[in-house]
Amino acid sequence: SKLFQNRDINKYYLAVSDKKPKKKQGMVSGEMQAARRGSWKLLPKKKTEKPDSIAKTQFFSGATAGGARLFLLKPLTGKTHQIRVMMKSLGAAILGDTRYGESTNTEQRCYLHAYSLNFHYQDKRFNFVLPPSEGKHFLTREAKQKVCKEWGHPQQLAWPKKR
C-alpha cells in the first residue's frame, strides 16, 4: 500500500471506444471536479489553486475491427473515475460505460481492463501482465496484435512526455 501511496507502481489499462478520439496519443491532464449524481468532470486547462485535484493520464491508441479503437492508458495520478473521464474528454467514451458513454450503448460490459502493473520492491523488479480473455472487442485479431506484439511490455514503451 505504501508503493501505491507514493505512486511507485506503474498501472496500465486497456479500453475500447467506438468513437474516434481528438488525438491518437499523448497526455490528458486537467482538474477533476465532482459533478452531478456521483459523476466527475474534467475542467478546462487553467491555473489552479488545487494542484492535488489535477489528474494526468498518458495514452496510445490504435484502430481495431469494425471501426473500434483500442487504447493503452497509463494514469499518473489516481483520481476517482479518472480514466473514464479522460476518455470522455477525448471524445471517445469507453464502450459499455453507462455513466460517461452514450445512453444508446448496447454492450453487455464496460470495455476497461486492468492490464499491467510493474514496480520495484526489495531490490527486485516485478512485472505483471494480464491480457483480456473475454469481450469481443478485446479479442479481435487487431486488438490481440496490439496487446501481444506492440503493447506486450507497456513499461518499455516510449510514453508521451509528462507535463
Q: Please list the residues that pair with 34 across neighbouring strands.
A: 40
136 pLDDT exceeds 60? yes
Spatial contact of 135 and 111, defined as CB atoms under 8 Å apart: yes
Confidence at residue 139, expressed as pLDDT on a 0 to 100 scale = 92
pLDDT score of 106 more than 80 = no
Tell me the whole-structure pTM to 2 decimals.
0.90
Total Cβ atoms within 10 A of residue 144: 15
In this structure, how many other beta carbons lie within 10 angstroms of the beta carbon of residue 82?
Answer: 20
- Asked if pLDDT for residue 4 goes beyond 90, the answer is no
Q: What is the pLDDT of residues 36-82, one digit of tens each?
A: 888 999 887 666 667 777 899 999 999 998 889 999 999 999 898 99
Grid cell for residue 62 = 490504435
- Average pLDDT of the chain is 89
- Cell (9 digits) for 88: 470522455
Q: What is the pLDDT of residue 43?
A: 86
Q: Beta partners for 61?
A: 71
Task: Provide the percentage of residues in the chain whose pLDDT is more than 70.
Answer: 93
Q: For 14, phi and psi rounded to 5 degrees?
A: -110, 145
pLDDT at 9: 92
Q: Which residue has the cell 477525448?
A: 90
> Of how many residues is the chain composed?
163
